[in-house]
């Protein structure tokens, strides 16, 4: 199947594809590395990966029809790319989630990725009671999800998505204790919850099903610190150690880049609202994180996109992805 015929089958016949380039890296990507491109569906992102020279992607299914899944699998295999499917945890009607699992397997996906909270804990909730109510709902969804992924033998990575602290995430994994429930290991998110990023990698690596790999830069501001994804090598993470720890624990895991080109995120850890849902975080966490921030002043200005038009944003995000690819090839064994 040619790219044009696949696009037609997927309802994208009006697209104007560029010729694929030779794969340059085994590293793949999440959709969030290309926010200005607005490509979140698997068939779109696979084509972009082929164009850029990436090794695969983590993306959503545009349809739960078997014909779509079969076409997607054929195209994935033609391009020689990996596929991981982003989805939601099982809701009140688990049948839809189970259909997603079936179609992910039909499409040749190796794993699923999901989150409990789409937003950020310290922004979404204003009280401990609100957080506890959300946790109760998350647990219901996880409890519905686990038997389905076990039935279909489809691993699911639950991302550390600025919701669970490291200790809470480890407790969840122990509580549900399933070989098919693991982690989508994001290498930078938990800095926002005052966790040590290397400790997060060390302790979650054994449970890793899939990944969001990134480098992070930080900078102080009045209410706390700013947090930004930055091109590999520009941030504070010891990426060689990060990748070595994950490879040692899970040799077959795919590395999916999440280089989000956006304005810096504010982590208001010096405000009362921030602490409302984190009563068990002792002052040592704050002190340790602020020391980390002060010891790692950014070598260049943090990325910002405010004021850029869509085409300028696309160029900027492609430039940042390109820099990550070159670093991964040169320093991380991902040629």
Summarised one tens digit per residue, pLDDT across range 80-139 is 999 999 999 999 999 999 999 999 999 999 999 999 999 999 999 999 999 999 999 999
pLDDT band at 20 (very low <50, low <70, confident <90, very high): low
- Write out pLDDT tens, residues 131-187: 999 999 999 999 999 999 999 999 999 999 999 999 999 999 999 999 999 999 999
The DSSP element (H or E) to which 140 belongs, if any, is helix 128-152
Q: Cβ(184)–Cβ(210) under 8 Å?
A: yes
Cα 149–chain centre separation: 20
97 vs 284: CA distance, rounded Å: 41
Q: What value does the mean pLDDT of the chain take?
A: 94
- Write out pLDDT tens, residues 21-53: 689 999 999 999 999 998 889 999 999 999 999
Q: Which residue has the tokens 């997607």?
A: 72
Cα 300–chain centre separation: 24
Cα 138–chain centre separation: 19
151 vs 192: CA distance, rounded Å: 35
266 vs 122: CA distance, rounded Å: 10
Position 295 pLDDT exceeds 80? yes
- Write out pLDDT tens, residues 4-18: 443 444 443 334 455
180 vs 142: CA distance, rounded Å: 12
What is the torsion angle, in degrees rounded to the nearest 10, for the CA atoms of residue 315, residue 319, residue 322 and residue 323?
-170
């Amino acid at each position: 199947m040619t790219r044009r015929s696949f696009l037609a089958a997927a309802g994208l016949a009006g697209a104007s594809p560029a010729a694929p380039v030779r794969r340059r890296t085994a590293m793949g990507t999440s959709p969030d590395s290309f926010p200005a491109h607005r490509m979140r569906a698997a068939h779109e992102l696979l084509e972009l990966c082929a164009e850029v020279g990436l090794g695969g992607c983590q993306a959503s299914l545009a349809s739960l029809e078997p014909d779509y899944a079969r076409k997607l699998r054929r195209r994935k295999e033609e391009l020689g790319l990996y596929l991981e499917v982003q989805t939601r945890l099982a809701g009140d009607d688990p049948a839809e989630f189970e259909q997603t699992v079936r179609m992910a397997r039909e499409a040749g996906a190796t794993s699923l990725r999901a989150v409990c909270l789409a937003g950020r804990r310290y922004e979404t909730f204003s009280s401990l009671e609100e957080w506890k109510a959300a946790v109760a709902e998350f647990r219901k969804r996880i409890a519905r999800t686990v038997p389905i992924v076990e039935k279909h033998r489809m691993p699911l990575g639950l991302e550390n998505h600025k919701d669970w602290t490291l200790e809470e995430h480890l407790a969840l994994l122990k509580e549900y204790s399933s070989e098919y429930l693991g982690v989508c290991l994001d290498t930078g998110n938990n800095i926002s919850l005052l966790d040590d990023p290397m400790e997060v990698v060390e302790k979650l690596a054994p449970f890793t099903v899939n990944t969001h790999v990134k480098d992070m830069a930080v900078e102080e501001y009045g209410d706390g610190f700013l947090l930004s994804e930055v091109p590999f090598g520009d941030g504070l993470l010891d990426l060689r150690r990060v990748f070595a720890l994950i490879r040692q624990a899970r040799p077959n895991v795919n590395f999916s880049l999440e280089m989000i080109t956006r304005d810096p995120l504010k982590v208001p850890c010096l405000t009362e609202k921030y602490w409302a849902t984190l009563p068990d975080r002792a002052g040592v966490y704050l002190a340790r994180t602020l020391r980390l921030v002060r010891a790692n002043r950014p070598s260049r200005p943090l990325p910002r996109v405010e004021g850029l038009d869509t085409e300028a944003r696309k160029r900027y995000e492609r430039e940042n992805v390109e820099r990550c690819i070159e670093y991964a090839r040169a320093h991380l064994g991902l040629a």
